[in-house]
Structure 1
Amino acid sequence: MLLSVIIVNYNVKYFLEYCLFSVEKAMKNIEGEIFVVDNNSTDGSRDFFENNFPQVKFIWNIKNEGFAKANNMALKMASGDYILFLNPDTIVPEDCFEKCISFIQSKNNSIACGVKMIDGSGKFLKESKRAFPSPLTSLYKLSGLARFFPRSKLFSKYHLGYLDENVNHEVDVLAGAFMIIPKKILDTVGGFDESFFMYGEDIDLSYRIQKAGYKNFYFAESCIIHFKGESTKKGSLNYVKMFYKAMSVFVKKHYGGTSAGLFNFFIQVAIFFRAALSVTARFFRRSKAVDNCLNAEISNAIIAGSREDFNDLSVLFQTCGINKRAVGHILAEVLADPEQKAFSNKMVEIISAKKANEIIFCEGQLSFKKIISILPYIPQQIDIIFFAAKLHSLISSSNKNEAGNFTLKENK
């Protein structure tokens, strides 16, 4: 067997449905297996998936075992030559796995591989490529200095902001959202360290891969969507504390001594500043939420897909009471134009003419690969929604700091 895909789920069933749908398409020409380990979700995931995706091997935990332990459960059962650890809130293009495996094979199967990631709005995710968290690099990240100097070799070292995101690079750390690793490497270094409950376990595994004489590579030639923020809100103070705890475990384990002491000091300072920023941001988000409620109105949506998709969605909005109306249509054939700049200009014209505030991408005549390639060209003020006729919902996620949204399709 060539590939084993391992996904840990917790309360994101509709995003997981899209993930599995895309994974099965990407495995069309690959001999492989898919594991989903559910960490005692309370959103009805078990009932939802019991009779769906019959090819997937589900493991239903009776308590939340954490990310590391849950992945290791499936790893013990996996028989693929390559192991992919994948988050449930992702969508992969159809050729993703084949390209990644080919790249690893070109490096004599002596590397682990991560990919370029964008969020649901098409924005590049900096954690696609990272350095190991020294006390100073962690301070710069958590204090927000890295955000103000995104290309600095000093302040942005953690996210390697000075490296071109469109070029393959050897890096220190691979993101746990997508790590594809030859099984022989995992047999040497072991799986995830279960002393990490959430966050940091990918950094630890990446470190052990390097220490064993292998390399980690950021592979820019394949790009996935990682919606993020579905299980934990990345912008919250709780996230900062969880990240700090995980980094503390990592530093004590691999550095120790003076470095651990300095790390703890710097991170406490960073948390103080981040807490102040979090309180301020929460106030403005609350004010914005109130404004949105007061000014709620029907969304004007452009449908990008086939004529059948346009007709289906138009009927769906009316019959299911969905607060949207289809005001424009872009045929899938138009989106096949390889000239992205021309497409971007055309999109801006249509959005302006139709006074649209949403675009709904329809999987079908449009492949996931094509949709992913288009997202970075969509104006940031436009909400992006994903639709697949065979699935139960429409999903969206405006940014990494907020939980995503889903709209159910009744009578599915």
Structure 2
Amino acid sequence: MGIAVLVVTWNSAKVIDGLLESLRPGLDGLDWQLIVADNDSADDTVARVESWAARNCDAVCRVVHTGGNLGYAAGINAALTKADKYDAALVLNPDIRLHEGSVRSMYEFIDDGEGTAGEPGPRTGIVVPRIVDEEGALAYSLRREPTLLRALGEATLGARAGRFAPLGELVMDEQAYQHPVVADWATGAVMLISAACLAACGPWDESFFLYSEETEFSLRARDRGFLTRLAPRAVATHIGGESRVSPELWTLLMSNRVKLYRRRHALAPSVAYWGAALLREAPRAALGQQRSRSAVKALLSRKMLD
């Protein structure tokens, strides 16, 4: 049945060509189909996908028009509804570039049996590659589960907190990216998810418009006995980083982190987690950082912990 490649686009004309051209080498040796869920792009994203499909007439390619900018999770769900039967679904950002043979290396870690190596226990349901930036430098993409202590660690130490497992979500040990380690979750720019995992978990949570949707799905998968694992020989290049400069996207990122924590914890620890997020952003807002000012305003919303 092969791989269902799912791409969610929104005004992605500047980056989609590179992704499309990387699909054949990245999926070499595998049967695959491409489903692009377009969130009402105003540019020529769809035209570029259709042009690629015309030049690659032997490839199965479908475009799903969602009818609006519905978000990443909604786009994934829409694409899944139009996919033929598959063994695994490959979720891709349009600014991903697959390296040759990367998906086959990822697919080798998918576990459709009773457990790893056929033994009872958790199965590998989500596989991610090593991600590098445009210069080829390792991008830290593995994450630990959000906790109150980690929120406090990041509030006081910033990104450096990731060097210490109890204090930060970000896995910053480069050696970890050389082995097929298990992570609590990983960046959702490129994820291979088994059909069994998708069936057990159900649709992606569309209440997360952007950010934390991959965290929620990975933790939900783990709750159902499916692990997230790194395939160290698989490599993908990610062109991104907009959340670091856009106040709107940064605000959404911080708000959704609190929202997700509240979904999985009682009110008292959630209030403390919210306080840690506010502690992280308030000093930066006081120093004039626009994105932190925007985040603080959102965090102070009365509905933040509903």
For the aligned pair, the TM-score class normalised by the smaller chain equals 0.7 to 0.9
Task: Please name the residue that 1:101 is paired with.
Answer: 107
1:254 to 218, 241, 264: 264
Task: Please name the residue that 1:27 is paired with.
Answer: 27
2:94 to 70, 84, 88: 88
CA deviations over 1:332-351 (Å, ceiling 9, x no partner): xxxxxxxxxxxxxxxxxxxx
Q: Could you say if the C-alpha distance between residues 281 and 74 of structure 1 is closer, same or farther in structure 2, counting changes exceeding 3 Å?
A: closer
Q: CA deviation at 1:250?
A: 0.8
Say whether residues 1:51 and 2:51 are aligned partners. Answer: yes
2:143 to 126, 130, 149: 130
- Provide the secondary structure at the position in 2 that maps to 1:225: strand
Say whether residues 1:201 and 2:213 are aligned partners. Answer: yes
- Between stretches 47-56 and 238-247, larger displacement belongs to 47-56
Q: CA deviation at 1:108?
A: 5.3
Please give the TM-score of this superposition, normalised by the length of structure 2: 0.83
CA deviations over 1:271-315 (Å, ceiling 9, x no partner): 213435673999xxxxxxxxxxxxxxxxxxxxxxxxxxxxxxxxx
- Between stretches 237-246 and 75-84, larger displacement belongs to 237-246
Task: Please name the residue that 2:131 is paired with.
Answer: 117
- 8 Å CA contact 1:4–1:83 kept in 2: the answer is yes
- 8 Å CA contact 2:34–2:62 kept in 1: the answer is yes
- Provide the secondary structure at the position in 2 that maps to 1:165: helix
Determine the C-alpha separation between the residues in 2 that align with 1:179 and 1:21: 18
Q: CA deviation at 1:144?
A: 6.7
Q: Could you say if the C-alpha distance between residues 281 and 85 of structure 1 is closer, same or farther in structure 2, counting changes exceeding 3 Å?
A: closer
Q: Could you say if the C-alpha distance between residues 188 and 52 of structure 1 is closer, same or farther in structure 2, counting changes exceeding 3 Å?
A: same
Determine the C-alpha separation between the residues in 2 that align with 1:97 and 1:210: 22
Task: Please name the residue that 2:176 is paired with.
Answer: 164
Determine the C-alpha separation between the residues in 2 that align with 1:47 and 1:12: 11
Determine the C-alpha separation between the residues in 2 that align with 1:278 and 1:90: 33
Say whether residues 1:77 and 2:82 are aligned partners. Answer: yes
- 8 Å CA contact 1:175–1:202 kept in 2: the answer is yes
Q: Could you say if the C-alpha distance between residues 40 and 153 of structure 1 is closer, same or farther in structure 2, counting changes exceeding 3 Å?
A: same
- 8 Å CA contact 1:133–1:158 kept in 2: the answer is yes
RMSD across aligned positions (CA): 2.4
Say whether residues 1:64 and 2:78 are aligned partners. Answer: no
Determine the C-alpha separation between the residues in 2 that align with 1:267 and 1:236: 18
Q: Could you say if the C-alpha distance between residues 136 and 242 of structure 1 is closer, same or farther in structure 2, counting changes exceeding 3 Å?
A: farther
Determine the C-alpha separation between the residues in 1 that align with 2:65 and 2:277: 36
Q: Could you say if the C-alpha distance between residues 144 and 50 of structure 1 is closer, same or farther in structure 2, counting changes exceeding 3 Å?
A: farther
Q: Could you say if the C-alpha distance between residues 212 and 236 of structure 1 is closer, same or farther in structure 2, counting changes exceeding 3 Å?
A: same
2:195 to 170, 183, 194: 183
- 8 Å CA contact 1:237–1:275 kept in 2: the answer is no
State which structure, 1 or 2, has the greater radius of gyration over its C-alpha atoms: 1
1:234 to 234, 241, 244: 244
Q: CA deviation at 1:88?
A: 0.6
Provide structure 2 residue ranges, at least 5 long, that are not aligned to the other structure. 293-306
Aligned residue type for 1:189:
C
Percent of paired sites with the same residue:
22
- 8 Å CA contact 1:119–1:227 kept in 2: the answer is yes
CA deviations over 1:57-92 (Å, ceiling 9, x no partner): 111233101000110011122221111111110101
Determine the C-alpha separation between the residues in 2 that align with 1:108 and 1:257: 40
Task: Please name the residue that 1:14 is paired with.
Answer: 14
Q: Could you say if the C-alpha distance between residues 168 and 261 of structure 1 is closer, same or farther in structure 2, counting changes exceeding 3 Å?
A: same
- Provide the secondary structure at the position in 2 that maps to 1:224: strand
CA deviations over 1:152-196 (Å, ceiling 9, x no partner): 2343x3012246222221110022111111101110111211111
Determine the C-alpha separation between the residues in 1 that align with 2:129 and 2:156: 25
Number of residue pairs matched by the alignment: 277
Please give the TM-score of this superposition, normalised by the length of structure 1: 0.62
Task: Please name the residue that 2:295 is paired with.
Answer: none
CA deviations over 1:329-384 (Å, ceiling 9, x no partner): xxxxxxxxxxxxxxxxxxxxxxxxxxxxxxxxxxxxxxxxxxxxxxxxxxxxxxxx
Determine the C-alpha separation between the residues in 2 that align with 1:253 and 1:31: 38
Provide structure 1 residue ranges, at least 5 long, that are not aligned to the other structure. 283-412
- 8 Å CA contact 2:179–2:231 kept in 1: the answer is yes
Listed as ranges, the matches of 1:306-345 within 5 Å are: none
Q: CA deviation at 1:28?
A: 3.7
- 8 Å CA contact 1:6–1:85 kept in 2: the answer is yes
